[in-house]
Structure 1
Amino acid sequence: MSLIPRGTGFDPFSFGFWDPFDGFPLGAGAAGGSLVPRTSSETAAFAGARIDWKETPEAHVFKADVPGLKKEEVKVEVQDGNVLQISGERSKDQEEKTDTWHRVERSSGKFMRRFRLPDNAKVEQVKAAMENGVLTVTVPKEEAKKPDVKSIEISG
């Protein structure tokens, strides 16, 4: 069995030299065995904040997981009349010269998510609250209009 160094060919038995995630932005390989983005930019690391969107009879409710963030670090805006934007930034931990990091898995950086709200959203009444690392944004809905029915008297 020959062990071919990476980059000179493919040997299916030499997985010790072959990194299947090499070049992939969330690869494990040389990043120390964790799924940490290989980038010096802090903006990509926290870009995918997880957000649920449900619709109730009264409102559209968005729940975002933002663990470790303070409400001052999160921004909720309505843009262009019907686009809900949730954004924020998680700061990187202060690094001391005497510190030795063994693993870095918690992401830092900026995040932004945008949602086009339906026509029945009352954007002027949006409310946001944060508790235990979960941001809840409530967008009330207009009541469904009932069709006007006018009875017509039948003559004859």
Structure 2
Amino acid sequence: NVFDPFSLDVWDPFEGFPFNTRSLVGGGEASAFVSTKVDWKETPEAHVFKADLPGLKKDDVKVEIDDGRVLQISGERCEEAEEKSDQWHCVERSRGRFLRRFQLPENARVDKVKATMENGVLTVTVPKQE
């Protein structure tokens, strides 16, 4: 949500348009940057973030707290090796670097952050102060 005061994400003005934005934003790195989707929910005990990162391993993803209260999720989807004889007919999967940043509220326990990766879904749990 572009108006979410806690989100530090880059706004994609072409999101939802009925044409291929990859050619407009230069493909590769830019499209991977804006295409990583994250859900953020608040429970009575914690703030829980879930990011779909298909094809990535735990070692491909970095979860950090920057600037005191900013949760940063970053990583890179590498390109597949290709042979000279390969002929691509369609390339839709994002590749390149991605970065998502979220301003955490005052009640977040940034010293107790936990992250798990299972079946291509990253779950980051930030407990709340009691």
Relative to the length of structure 1, the TM-score reads 0.68
Please state if 1:37 is matched with 2:59: no
- Please state which structure has a larger fraction of its residues in strand: 2
Structure 1: give runs of 5+ residues left out of the alignment: 1-23, 29-34, 144-156
Instruction: Please name the residue that 2:48 is paired with.
Output: 61
RMSD over equivalenced CA pairs, Å: 1.9
Highest RCO, 1 vs 2 (Cα 8 Å, sep ≥ 6): 2
Q: CA shift at 1:72, angstroms?
A: 0.7
Relative to the length of structure 2, the TM-score reads 0.80
Q: Which of 68, 86, 94 is matched with 2:81 structurally?
A: 94
Give the SS at the match of 1:124: helix
Structure 2: give runs of 5+ residues left out of the alignment: 1-13
- Please state which structure has a larger fraction of its residues in helix: 2
Equivalenced residues, count: 114
Q: CA shift at 1:97, angstroms?
A: 0.2
Give the SS at the match of 1:47: helix
Runs of 4+ in 1 over 3 A off after TM superposition: 24-28
**Identity of counterpart residues, as a percentage?**
62
User: What aligned pairs does 1:72-111 form with structure 2 within 5 A after superposition?
Assistant: 72-111=59-98
User: What aligned pairs does 1:1-156 form with structure 2 within 5 A after superposition?
Assistant: 28=19, 35=20, 37-38=22-23, 42-48=28-34, 49-143=36-130
Q: Distance in 1 between matches of 2:72 and 2:86?
A: 37
Q: CA shift at 1:108, angstroms?
A: 0.5
Cα deviation, 1:71-92, whole Å, max 9, x if unaligned, reads 1110000011100000110001
